[in-house]
Amino acid sequence: MAQYTLETDGQVCPFPLVEAGAAITKLDLGDELTISFDCTQATDALPRWAAENGYPVTHFDRVGDAQWTITVQKA
Amino acid sequence: MLLTGLGLGIALGFAMQRGRFCVTGAFRDLWLTGSTRWLTAFLIVIAVQSAGVFALDAAGVITLDPQPFAWLATIIGAFIFGFAIVLAGGCATGTYYRAGEGLVGSWLALIFYALFSAISKTGALSTPVAALRGITVEASTIHGVLGVSPWVLVVALVTGVGLLARHHRRRRPSLPLVSLPARTGGIRHLLFEKKWGAFTTALIIAALAILAWPLSWATGRESGLGITGPSSNIVNYLVRGDPELIDWGVYLVIGILLGSFVAAKGSGEFRVRLPDVTTTIRSIFGGVLMGVGASLAGGCTIGNGMVDTATFGLQGWVSLVFMIIGTGAATRLFITGSARIAASPIRVPADR
């Protein structure tokens, strides 16, 4: 089980979502992907994307003003 | 009385920021993920507002006065506008509220959108725009063409959208939705932290959209919510100094900016964010095309897509279809077909 990070700060929606979708295909089952993002709309889009694809969210929090991090597990 | 525009704008900007209400996202999702959740929210606003508007019309509070349908300009303008909002990263209201969140890319899009609205409506491009908008057919509303009462359409739309909303509410994702951890309680949590549902936000925006009609009417501006006209008025006022140009709509759009700023600041979501070079260029060109497109079409995603549709205007519905097609074209060109989606996740060393 490996940990991966994906940096999307500075990218406007829907790029964090599109990139997360592309990135997770490169992971093995059980691997975790931590996505940093600063597009407000992705606070709605990313958890929903994870839930709809059956990826458990192991961590989701604010990092600073208009900055967030979410970690999903490929399942 | 003009101040009611400011108040309504503040409420609208606040609701849009907290609810993450993005019309561009609603159209784009259709092409990107096939999701109709946000489009359903958008249709809820139209359906609820249509009931309100025809009730106000029946009560004599407002008088709807349909104009001949400028079909060619609407089709061309709506396609350009739909294409442009993907480049700009937000439609008219989306750009206003993201500007309030501190996104410099949206500041640029907003400036060029307002500037090119003024250029197209009253400036250098006004002659060709007016000529294209002069190509009209007599028909102006769907109920007029069909020869039925608008209430038939209100009932059909409310029923259809109600079924669509029910379908979405019944469809649960396989895993529960995760929310951000709560840090505050009470009213502060409710206003600045709690996640607003898409459909709840839509109902709030619909109520504000209905309220906009009588409030705007009382000041002599005989229409509902609108973004492009007021944006153009601001530019004209700044360069000509004519105070007559400051109408209810100008207060409304300034209110949206203030309301979204308050919402973003209060929830720790305001930060001045600089775009990269590609995003900067896209924001500027997006803003330019938004101004030209909205002026040709006679409205933006709000004026045409959300308000004229609620009065069952042909301009609104034809516009809605072509904006969605334009959004699809730009999504194919700049998002799904983009070379930018080459990002690889970086593996974190195991010893960390």
What is the C-alpha separation between B228 and B230, in angstroms, rounded?
6
Residue A49 has pLDDT above 80, yes or no: yes
Residues in CB range of B5: below 8 A, 6 or more apart? B215, B216, B219, B247, B248, B249, B250, B251, B252, B255
Residue A41 has pLDDT above 80, yes or no: yes
B299 - beta bridge partners? none
Q: Å from B130 to nearest chain A CA?
A: 35
ipTM over 0.85: yes
Residue B118: predicted pLDDT: 97
Percent of chain B at pLDDT exceeding 90: 81
Q: Decide if B228 contacts B119 (C-beta within 8 A).
A: no
The predicted model gives B15-33 an average pLDDT of: 93
Q: Which of A4, A11, A13, A60 is catalytic?
A: A13
Residue B193: predicted pLDDT: 86
The predicted model gives B51-72 an average pLDDT of: 94
What confidence tier does A75 reach under pLDDT thresholds 50, 70, 90?
A: confident
Residues in CB range of B288: below 8 A, 6 or more apart? B84, B112, B113, B115, B116
Q: Which two tokens stand for residue B311?
A: 């009065």
Residue B183 has pLDDT above 90, yes or no: no
What confidence tier does B174 reach under pLDDT thresholds 50, 70, 90?
A: confident
Residue B352: predicted pLDDT: 45
Per residue in B143-156, pLDDT (tens digit) is 999 999 999 999 99
Per residue in B272-286, pLDDT (tens digit) is 999 989 999 999 999
What confidence tier does B343 reach under pLDDT thresholds 50, 70, 90?
A: low
Residue among B273, B276, B277, B327 with most chain A CBs within 10 A, to mutate: B273
Percent of chain B at pLDDT exceeding 70: 97
Containing H/E element for A3?
strand A3-7
CB contact under 8 A, A54 and B174: yes
